[in-house]
Amino acid sequence: MEETIMINWQEVVNRYFDGETSEEEERLLRRFLATEAGQGSEFDEVRAVMSVFAAGKAVNQTRHKSRKLWPWLAAACVAGLAWLLWTGIGSSQDVCVAYVNGQKITDRNEVLALMQESWNDIEMQETGNTVEEQLTDLFNTLE
């Protein structure tokens, strides 16, 4: 029984070297070569060849995957850059809102009234008695 199995695998190996095996047969052959029965020296050559091909396939898959990824990465970067430039330029948006003690106010007239009130509080015309007092003191001293 065992002999029959070995002969069968040898036949598969021969067909492998002739390029006549299917992918499924090659997969099964790889599995066999990993078992104890497949450790014989008669399988060293096929094991070596299949290892080389397996390594080459892995490298190609990695290259293929990264080759697929680069265009998407480039597109994402360009899209991100375009968005950042657009927001930087400042797409016009109308905002008119106020909060009084945490309460949101969206009535346009109320908000604008609060805006005017806050600006009045700045009292830009009034630069402070401190300046006037200092100037007065300065001129008084000069006199």
Is residue 37 within 8 Å of 6, Cβ to Cβ?
A: yes
The verdict on 96 binding another protein (CB under 8 A) reads yes
The span of 15-23, 33-41, 56-64, 80-88 binding another protein (CB under 8 A) equals 80-88
The verdict on 1 binding another protein (CB under 8 A) reads no
Q: Quote the CA–CA distance of 70 and 80 in Å, as a whole number.
A: 15
Q: Quote the CA–CA distance of 20 and 1 in Å, as a whole number.
A: 25
Q: Quote the CA–CA distance of 7 and 55 in Å, as a whole number.
A: 28
In the complex with another protein, the residue whose CB is nearer, 62 or 118, is 118
Residue ranges in contact with another protein by CB under 8 A: 70, 73-74, 77-78, 80-81, 84-85, 87-90, 92-102, 104, 108, 111-112, 114-116, 118-125, 127-131
